[in-house]
Every structure is written in structure tokens, then in C-alpha cells.
Structure 1
Amino acid sequence: MFKVISWVAVILWMALIFYLSHQPAGESSELSSGVTALILSIIEGIVPAAVNVDFDIFHFYIRKGAHFAAYFVLGLFVVNALYASGVKGLRSVLVALLISVLYAASDEYHQTFIPGRSGEVSDVLIDAIGSATGIVCYLLAVKLKHLGTVRLLRKR
């Protein structure tokens, strides 16, 4: 059952990415501008004097950070689903990265058909780095969990 749930999480996350990519440029920019404004207002509330940020530059980094974050989660979900399916080790890393990068490339291609949007190779690279980071974090968590289990067993 866990295997099925893991793959459903992958598919649902891919669907969310597709949905967000399918928004015309105006809607997408409006959403990310709102997120940017919210983050800036939170920062200003914490450190009022420290914020002297160009909104457009910050907005650019928020958009690129969203790419990284979305594919970080996708990398986590894909490698988790592969582990749940019995694919482990280097093979899980390579397959998870391949799935994530192919999806990123197909998503950027898909955006070329959306009014005001474009497909960017740089976004695929950011997505790939996000996926790789998510995969590595997952593997580190598995390793730490295993080390903790081994230590518990040794204490008995």
C-alpha cells in the first residue's frame, strides 16, 4: 500500500507543477508577485531597517527559488517511490534524477505553448539541481535513520 501511496504522491505533485506551469504569464506573475510581497512584508516585520530590496530582483529570485523547491520535493517523492518499489542504491538515484529532469524538460517545453510563457534551459538546470538536492537529502535521511536503528540495536 505504501508503494501505491508513494507513486500517487509523485503523480499529484507532477500535476501541481503542470497546473502552475499552465497558467498564462499574467496569472503566474501575479501569484509569484503576491508571494514576493508577502515574504518582503514578513522580513520587514522582523527587521524593519534591514529591508532595502529591489522588488523586481527579489521577485526574480523567488521565481527561481520556486523552481528549485518544486523539484526538490519532486526528487524526494520520486526517490521515495523508487525505494518503496524496491529500487535502491545508485540505481534509485539515477532513475529518480532521470525522471525529474525529463519531467522538468517536458514542463519547460509545455510552457512554450502557454501565452506569454517560454521554456528556459536555465530553469531545467535549476530544476535538476533542486531534484538532485532533494534526492541527496532523502538518502541522507535514510542513512541517518539506519544509523539510529543500528545504535538502538547495539544498546540492547
Structure 2
Amino acid sequence: MRRTLFIILTIVWMIVIFAFSAKDADASQQESYKVGFIIGRIVVEDFENQTYDEQLEFAKLVDHPIRKTAHAMEYAILGFLVLGALYSSSMRWYLQGLIAWGIATLYAASDEFHQLFVPGRSGEFKDVCIDSVGVIIGVLIGLLIFSKHYKNSKE
């Protein structure tokens, strides 16, 4: 039952990632700017009193870090979910982690390839690397959680 749930969640999350990647450059940029405006309201004193151009300048300034952080986070989630779908007591933990990393990183590469066909978007090797680091984080978190759960269930 647990494995089936993780498989379903993994597929759903892959569809979500695909949908984000299918947005053209303008739509993707606008979403990033919206996040930049939200961050500005939280971290910049008197952000609301600034002109729209000043607010937009801040959103542009934080755009790149927002995008790269989003890449890593979405793939950390994918790494965690793929590991959850694979995790079993019969396979060595490091093999499970390696296989989960491989599957999620291959998906990241295919996603970057997909972006080559989306207007205004590009597929970048550095994004696959960022995604892969996110996968590693998600897999490591998953290994910690699942190993504790497995250990507790044996006791």
C-alpha cells in the first residue's frame, strides 16, 4: 500500500514538473516575479511604498536565485518520492539511494530536453546539475526518515 501511494505521488509530481516546464518563457518569468514581489513584501522595509519600477527591479534581482532554488526544491521532492517508491528492507540502503538518484536525475535531464521545444525556454546542463543536487538532498532526507521508520517498526 505504501509503495503504491509513493508510485502514484511520484507520477503526479512528475506531471507537475512537466507542466511547469511546459510554460513559455514569459509565463514562467511572470511566476518568478510574483514570488519576487512576495519576498520583497516580507524582507524589504517599506516595499509597499516603493514605485512599481523599484519593486520590479527587486523582483528581477532575486529572480535567478528563486528559479534555481525552485529547481532544487522540486527535485528534492521528486528524489524523496522516488526513494519512497523503491524503499524496501531487502535492498541495501545505498543502492536504493543510488537508483532513486539515477531515476530522478534522468527525469531532470529529460525535462531539460523537453524545455528545448518550449517557446523562449532552453535546456541547460547546469540546471540538470542543480536538479541532481536537489535529488541528493531529497534522497538523503528520505533515507533518514525511512531508515528510522524501518528501525522503529522492527522493535
Q: TM-score range by the shorter chain?
A: 0.7 to 0.9
Q: Quote how far apart the aligned CAs of 1:41 are.
A: 0.9
Partner of 1:32: 32
Distance apart, 1:68 and its partner CA: 0.4
After superposition, the C-alpha distances for 1:90-124 in whole angstroms (9 at most, x for unaligned) are 22111101111100000000000000000001100
Structure 2: how far apart are the matches of 1:32 and 1:98?
28
1:71 match: 75
Distance in structure 2 (CA, Å) of the matches to 1:7 and 1:65: 25
Deviation at 1:143, TM superposition (A): 3.6
* 2:132 counterpart of 1:131: no
CA distance in 2, matches of 1:101, 1:82: 15
Asked if 2 retains the 8 angstrom alpha-carbon contact of 1:21 and 1:111, the reply is: yes
Q: What amino acid does structure 1 have at the position aligned with 2:11? A: I
The 5 Å alignment of 1:6-155 reads 6-44=6-44, 48=45, 54-83=58-87, 87-145=91-149, 149=152
One-letter identity of the residue aligned with 2:4: V
Structure 1 alignment gaps of length 5 or more = none
TM-score (norm 2): 0.84
Contact 1:100 1:131 in 2 (8 A): yes
CA shift, 1:85, in A, is 9.2
Structure 2: distance between partners of 1:6 and 1:27: 30
CA RMSD for the aligned pairs?
Answer: 2.4
1:25 maps to a residue whose letter is A
Distance 2:107 2:97 in 1: 15
1:94 maps to amino acid: L
Distance of 2:58 and 2:83 partners within structure 1: 37
Structure 1 pair 94–104 and aligned structure 2 pair: CA distance change class (3 A):
same
Q: Could you tell me how far apart the structure 2 residues matched to 1:18 and 1:110 are?
A: 8
Contact 1:64/1:126 (CA < 8 Å) preserved in 2? yes
Over the matched positions of the two proteins, sequence identity in percent amounts to 37
Maintained 8 Å contact 1:108/1:124:
yes
Structure 2 CA distance for aligned equivalents of residues 7 and 58 of structure 1: 34
